[in-house]
């Protein structure tokens, strides 16, 4: 069995880690590292019987993830101190939001940049306040800068000059030029307050954003992690509120994300064993390609299907902008190489 399938089976609880041969762990650890999920695996196998070397490595990973998470939440606090005094409210997105809400998927989850969502009419003010508070531009290229400002769903990335941490300030969750236009006003106005005191998206919107990020915007890089987020959050939201799937359907259709959300649900059933209700528990032949892309890693952590990887990359751009614009964009980028 391939290492990536063993890895997914371990996360899903379908496989007993004690039954793995010592040599199997190399591939599992290699795949987990290349998916940035080693600490996630370390958390889900925290109580399992493991070979001593694996148990020690996993303990390192859990400790490191705890520090990284505290640092990520500190970044959120820094953003709050920069923005709150002038009344700009923001909603935490992705990893920092999961950590702030103490969700199951945040256990060991790697958190990269700080992602925040503000109302579109606040974004210029937010930008100025962050610049004053020590963040600065990363991209100096005027084309990239203009491209972000005109067409993207976020400001060009900024980095803090003292702490060396990036912030992405969003005004919506998909590029302006994307075929789908989620209701950004509803996202912000229906946000909820997390246990750590930060605003986060409400459960249904959070699942919509997770699916949109994975399937409507990205090229499925890091897909196993995004799918794990989606799987564990929907599992826990349903446990807390049996009506969750219905609410999710409603919000997904409000944002135009029904197809992405349903596909994410089917994939989390296929990979992680999610139980889906009627109306969701269907088969779609196109899912095969997504499963193949998610499983396309060998036991050295390499992508095994470069053509499929390329196809998903092209697909992500195809969804992001109309064809003529895409052609212009790629032409400009190519000339600048």
Partner 1 sequence: MKNKLRIAVGPVQFRIGSDWAEPIAALARLYAGYPQDDTRPADATVRLFAARPWRRWLRPSVHIGGDFVVPDALPLPLSMGLLAAEMGMNLQIALGWRRHMLLHASAVAQGGRALIMSGESGSGKSTLAALLGEGDWRLMGDEFTLIDLFGGDTLAFPRAVSLKNEAIAEVAARVDPARLGPLLAATPKGDIRHLIPRADAIAAMHEPLRPALLLFPRFGGEVAVEPMGEGEAFVRLTEASTNYVALGEAGFAALTRLVRETPAFGISYPDSAAGIALVEQLWAEAAK
Sites of contact with partner 1 (CB under 8 A): 22-23, 25-26, 29-30, 33-34, 51, 53-54, 56-57, 60-61, 63-64, 67-68, 70-71, 300-302
Least distance from partner 1 to the Cβ atom of residue 23, Å: 8
Q: Is 87 left (phi over 0), alpha (psi -120 to 50) or beta?
A: left
Nearest Cα to 235, choosing from 47, 44, 7, 17? Answer: 44
Q: Are 183 and 255 spatial neighbours (Cβ–Cβ below 8 Å)?
A: yes
DSSP states along 32-56: HHHTT-HHHHHHHTTTS---HHHHH
Least distance from partner 1 to the Cβ atom of residue 191, Å: 29
Distance CA 167, CA 184 (A): 19
Which residues have C-beta within 8 Å of that of residue 331, sequence separation ≥ 6? none
Closer CB to partner 1, 157 or 273, in the complex? 157
Q: How far is CA 298 from each of CA 10, 290, 291, 304, rounded to the nearest angstrom? A: 16, 17, 15, 6
- The DSSP element (H or E) to which 116 belongs, if any, is strand 114-117
Least distance from partner 1 to the Cβ atom of residue 26, Å: 5
Least distance from partner 1 to the Cβ atom of residue 31, Å: 10
Closer CB to partner 1, 57 or 159, in the complex? 57
Closer CB to partner 1, 33 or 235, in the complex? 33
Least distance from partner 1 to the Cβ atom of residue 236, Å: 28
CB-neighbour burial class of residue 233 (10 A; exposed 0-12, middle 13-18, buried 19+): buried
Least distance from partner 1 to the Cβ atom of residue 52, Å: 9
Closer CB to partner 1, 63 or 146, in the complex? 63
Closer CB to partner 1, 50 or 271, in the complex? 50
Closer CB to partner 1, 159 or 186, in the complex? 159
């Amino acid at each position: 069995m391939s290492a990536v399938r063993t890895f997914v089976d371990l996360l899903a609880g379908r496989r007993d880690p004690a039954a793995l041969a010592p040599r199997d762990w190399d591939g599992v650890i290699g795949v987990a590292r290349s998916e940035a999920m080693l600490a996630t695996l370390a958390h889900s196998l925290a109580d399992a019987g493991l070979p001593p070397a694996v148990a020690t490595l996993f303990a390192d990973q859990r400790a490191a993830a705890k520090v990284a998470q505290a640092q990520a939440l500190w970044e959120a606090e820094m953003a709050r101190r920069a923005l709150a005094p002038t009344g700009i409210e923001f909603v935490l997105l992705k990893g920092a939001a999961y950590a702030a809400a103490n969700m199951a998927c945040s256990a060991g989850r790697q958190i990269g940049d700080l992602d925040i969502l503000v109302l579109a009419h606040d974004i210029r003010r937010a930008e100025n306040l962050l610049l004053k508070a020590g963040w600065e531009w990363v991209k100096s290229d005027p084309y990239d800068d203009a491209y972000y400002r005109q067409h993207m769903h976020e400001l060009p990335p900024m980095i803090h000059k003292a702490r060396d941490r990036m912030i992405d300030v969003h005004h919506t969750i998909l590029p302006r030029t994307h075929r789908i236009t989620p209701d950004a006003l509803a996202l912000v106005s229906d946000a909820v307050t997390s246990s750590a005191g930060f605003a986060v998206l409400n459960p249904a919107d959070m699942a919509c954003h997770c699916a949109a990020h994975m399937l409507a915007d990205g090229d499925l890089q890091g897909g196993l992690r995004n799918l794990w987020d989606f799987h564990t959050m929907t599992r826990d939201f349903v446990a807390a509120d049996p009506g969750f799937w219905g609410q999710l359907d409603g919000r997904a259709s409000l944002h135009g994300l029904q197809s992405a959300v349903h596909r994410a649900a089917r994939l989390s059933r296929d990979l992680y064993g999610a139980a889906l209700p009627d109306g969701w528990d269907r088969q779609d032949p196109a899912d095969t390609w997504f499963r193949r892309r998610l499983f396309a890693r060998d036991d050295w952590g390499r992508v095994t299907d470069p053509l499929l990887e390329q196809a998903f990359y092209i697909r992500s751009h195809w969804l992001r902008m109309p064809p003529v614009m895409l052609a212009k964009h790629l032409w400009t980028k190519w000339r600048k190489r």
